[in-house]
Structure 1
Amino acid sequence: MTSTESPNPLRELAPRDLREHTASTLARARERSVALTDAVDDEDLTRQHSKLMSPLVWDLAHIGSQEELWLVRDVGGREPLRPDIDDLYDAFQHPRADRPSLPLLGPAEARAYVREVRSKAFDVLERAPLEGRKLTEAAFAFGMIAQHEQQHDETMLATHQLRQGEPVLHAPEPPPRRIGNVAPEVLVPGGPFLMGTSVEPWALDNERPAHEVHVGAFVIDTFPVTCGQYVAFLEAGGYDEPRWWSEAGWAYRSEHAITAPRFWRREADGWWRTRFGVHEPVPADEPVVHVSFHEAEAYAAWAGKRLPTEAEWEKAARHDPATGRSLRYPWGDEEPAAQHANLGQRHLRPAVTGAYPAGASPLGVHQLIGDVWEWTSSDFAGYPGFTAFPYREYSEVFFGPEYKVLRGGSFGTDAVAIRGTFRNWDYPIRRQIFSGFRCARDPRPDERA
């Protein structure tokens, strides 16, 4: 059976329909940026809530700066609006901890700037040929900028989680569990599958090219590890036993006196957490969130398992054994909708396990997209045949063992910024991100048949 991947319907759109789809995608990102920044006053916008994060007003102006550089100047060939601020909003020039001391645009000026840039970008979208250049083919540059803005929106959402004070963000509760009991694990047969993509028009460079990978048989958790399962690890003394931790993980846990997931604390009646200003009991049936790679790895060792490799995760998410195709998403090729996954900040928490049966993969693995980013055991590296595009600083400069790959997106990830092939990466110590995990293991001899 020859491995193939599903095509993206964007390639079939007429130019007018492609422009309308792209404009709508950009507008959705901007609505979210505005909501996240309008939710707080100017003092909150300019304050640094954690040295791990930029002031919200920096993220806002940075979104505009990148849009100006790529859409207004490059694609549109227009005169620069604010060349004087290019260095201020270059993420590689200034570490996050130093950004509050920079002469940043104030809230009113930043809002005016991003509005002006967007107006010009929409004009460029109306006029630019969406062919003839790799950067503009199928509106790639516009899709790249929409993804960039949504990625910063998720970063701003993480900053909201770190801020002190009364809740300012509100959203309905995610859906309840919608399925009965299912097996806790799924056996994924060994064999080849097509990893990555060569056909997704808005896929970023590190997702390319598609290449066949042979993955041996493995068993993977049906759902991400829940808070209730993680509490069992806590109550068993998991944070006090070096044997479950890697040398680097134990050193980090000890140096920083980490005793539970970030934002959790033990009270007389059990474990509680703070979530966007709300103090609440830890829900047993939600995926655990705000854990580092080191914590995930230690839990997996305690449970007699391991973290999946990136290839294992993607095979569980995309491989259709009936056809041999690699699907765009676990549920198939259609764009994510509310019944498939917890995405786009529709809710301000992970959904309970079993809430999205329509999002299951052909192999029966659930909630691979949305809810929590899932740590894998893999270092971040380019695929065979990788080519940096359109700039090295998006992916290539991060390749190496310092970064671990996360997959699947979170409740704070927008649909435009997640695919079955999408790759995220971060330092293994990171806990402020919306990160969780699921476990894998090698099959027993009686399971291989």
Structure 2
Amino acid sequence: MTGRLRAHLAAELERTRARTALLTDAVDDADLVRQHSPLMSPLVWDLAHVGNQEELWLVRDVGGREPVRRDIDELYDAFKHPRRDRPQLPLLSPAEARGYVRTVRDKVLDLLDGVPFSGRRLTADGFAFGMIVQHEQQHDETMLATHQLRLGPAVLHALPPPRATVGVSGEVLIPAGPFTMGTSTEPWALDNERPAHAVDVPAFFIDAGCVTNGEYAAFIADGGYDQPRWWSEAGWRHRVEAGLVAPMHWRRDGDGWAYTRFGRTEPVDPGEPVVHVCFHEAQAYAAWAGKRLPTEAEWEKAARYDPATGRTRRYPWGDGSPLPHHANLGQRHLAPAPAGAYPLGASPAGVYQLIGDVWEWTASDFTGYPGFAAFPYREYSQVFFGPRYKVLRGGSFGTDATACRGTFRNWDFPIRRQIFAGFRCARDATPAEPG
């Protein structure tokens, strides 16, 4: 078992690094050091940062070895330097960054052979290595978002996502009652996913699929961006200050809309889930549609609860890890797929594509679960708790399967649009409706 775990960890580390290399080798050095948006770091910062985290946790802490580059720790501390300021730092050059991460990785693969996977919580079940894999994959998705913001010709290429094979429309009733939210058993789950706890959720309806571009365009056409009644006070203030008129990257194209994605401009596909909308836009659309955003607990119950058995699953389709036919994950495609493209990934209640395609905004603030304990450091989750951040669930087409579970929680400011975020709507079940 230990041998298989070591082989699995080595394979995950190398698979993840191959994705990092793809994202950084796709552009020249000038692009790597350029800041494409004040919202994002230069790609070369992300590259060295993942190496620095790997050095801190695996080389120094787990391995107990001498530092590789202690002198750069502060440069790559995400809490000490806001993204907008990072281009002014004396960062490693592209060649130096590549050499640094390669040196760190060689040391990690060397020490992996002798690490005990018992006796210490940090290394039990390979957690520290899984944490680093997830951290790098999260930065890979961030780098993918940076690619979406860069100007110039396309440099990333992938096959289009599959088309729908079943029709998806309407809403699904999720019956009232308790379910198990979070996890205490998932070996690589992060601290904010823990512990498992029972949550009693009243009956509610949730959309079978995410809101599509076509549906969102109807909101725009009906004057949704011009009517304060659909927006919260904070949302309307932001809409006015930011001049929002449509999802990010949309522009008028005759009577319709066009969308620039990774350097290619095409007509907006009405059947795709809408993406690059902020929380306030999602909330306004839901109000216009006579609905609301689901709470985080509602989203997770829709994704994991099996009404027929009363059991809470790891994923909508069951307990097995995601396979390509379950969900659009891992940058296999560079776009979300239409609802109905992954029928084998549906939940028992008949909710589609809760995993992959687009992160889904929920109505919930990011807080700790009852019994939360920070591990292995407060800065991963705890320092973000509070009403400033909203929770997103489910992952996107740019999220790797190792960083996406039925319990996985993402969070961001409600004004953010550069992330691959969309949404689906929910509503209360009335007393006359079953459940």
Given candidates 240, 248, 260, the residue that maps to 1:274 is 260
Give the fraction of aligned pairs with identical amino acids, expressed as a percent.
72
Residue aligning to 2:229: 243
Aligned-pair CA distance for 1:183? 4.7
Other-structure match for 2:433: 447
Query: Do residues 111 (structure 1) and 98 (structure 2) align?
Result: yes
| SS across alignment from 2:113 | helix
Asked if structure 1 preserves the Cα contact closer than 8 Å seen for 2:331 and 2:399, the reply is yes
Alignment partner, residue 253 of structure 1: 239
| Deviation readout 1:9-67 (Å, 9 max, x if unpaired) | xxxxx111111111111111100000000000000000000000000000000000000
Residue 74 of structure 2, aligned match among 72, 81, 87: 87
Amino acid at match of 2:135: H
- The CA distance in 1 between the partners of 2:336 and 2:80, in whole Å, is 34
> 1:422 matched to which residue of 2?
408
Amino acid at match of 2:302: A
Q: Which of 26, 36, 44 is matched with 1:49 structurally?
A: 36
Say which SS state the counterpart of residue 290 (structure 2) adopts: coil
Give the conservation status (yes or no) of the 8 Å contact 2:169–2:209: no
The answer on whether the counterparts of 2:336 and 2:358 sit within 8 Å (CA) in structure 1 is: yes
One-letter code aligned to 1:256: A
Deviation per CA, 1:280-302, whole angstroms, max 9, x where unpaired?
A: 10000000000000000000000
Matched, 1:68 2:74: no
Counterpart of 1:380 in structure 2 is 366
Partner of 1:232: 218
In the alignment, which residue of structure 1 is the partner of 2:132? 145
Q: Give the counterpart letter for 2:193 in structure 1.
A: E
Query: Match for residue 9 of structure 1?
Result: none
SS for the counterpart of 2:180 is strand
1:40 aligned residue: 27
Quick one: distance in 2 between partners of 1:359 and 1:125?
34
**2:283 matched to which residue of 1?**
297
Whether 2:186 is the aligned partner of 1:167: answer no
SS at match of 2:373: coil
In structure 1, what is the equivalent of residue 347 of structure 2? 361
Match of 1:410?
396
Does residue 206 of the first structure (1) align with residue 200 of the second (2)?
Answer: no
Give a deviation string over 1:227-256, Cα, whole Å, max 9, x none. Answer: 000000000000000000000000000011
The alignment's TM-score, normalised by the length of structure 2, stands at 0.99
Partner of 1:218: 204
Q: Residue deviations 1:330-359, cap 9 Å, x none?
A: 100111011000000000000011000000
SS at match of 1:288: coil
* 1:184 Cα deviation after fit: 1.3
Cα deviations by residue, 1:359-413 (Å, 9 ceiling, x for unpaired): 0011110000000000000000000000000000000000000000000000000
- 1:284 aligned partner: 270
How many residues matched? 435
Amino acid aligned to 2:236: W
Q: Partner residue of 1:98?
A: 85
Secondary structure at the counterpart of residue 57 of structure 1: helix
Task: For 2:153, give the aligned amino acid.
Answer: E
Task: Give me the whole-angstrom Cα distance separating, in 1, the residues matched to 2:378 and 2:168.
Answer: 44
Q: CA deviation at 1:267?
A: 2.0
TM-aligned CA deviation for residue 182 of structure 1: 4.3
Q: Which amino acid in structure 2 is aligned with residue 210 of structure 1?
A: A
Determine helix, strand or coil for the equivalent of 2:251: strand
Aligned equivalents of 1:76 and 1:257: distance in 2? 51
| Aligned equivalents of 2:429, 2:371: Cα separation in 1 | 32
Question: Aligned partners of 1:72 and 1:268: how far apart in 2?
Answer: 56
Provide the secondary structure at the position in 2 that maps to 1:108: helix
1:320, CA displacement in angstroms?
1.2
Q: CA deviation at 1:447?
A: 2.0
